[in-house]
Amino acid sequence: VQLQASGGGLVQPGDSLRLSCAASGGTFSRYDMGWFRQAPGKEREFVSGISRDGVYTSYATSVKGRFTVSRDFAKNTAYLQMNSLKPEDTAVYYCAARRYSTGRASASYDYWGQGTEFTVSS
């Protein structure tokens, strides 16, 4: 499956932004989807995940209550709605997909998009 992330840019603290991850070349409903981010000088970290049926979601503590993950099966697209953005949310965001593994480790995901970057700054 190929993944294409989009939606980055420059926003101010407190703003909202929605990232999209369009999937192609595979059966979308067979894949769990995940969002990761990597800030400058830091390791890639888990942000959020959604199960292949869209029923189960998970979030990093740092974003819980502010970010919402979802997926649209008709559009083969996963989304990350981000509200109340903070400067520390600044990073390159990656979407990822997997069929068989579990957990939050990046190594559990088999397919990765190219990343989309956004900056939260006043």
Question: pLDDT digit string (tens) for 37-52?
Answer: 999 999 999 999 999 9
Q: Provide the CB-side half-sphere exposure for 32 (13 A, CA).
A: 22
pLDDT at 106: 92
- Predicted confidence (pLDDT) at residue 101 exceeds the cutoff of 90: no
Distance separating alpha carbons of residues 99 and 120, to the nearest angstrom: 33
Q: Which two tokens stand for residue 76?
A: 């083969």
| Residue 106 phi, psi (nearest 5) | -60, -30
Residue 114 pLDDT greater than 90, yes or no: yes
Q: By the 8 A CB rule, do 100 and 34 touch?
A: no
Q: Which pLDDT tens digit goes with each residue over 70-80?
A: 999 999 999 99
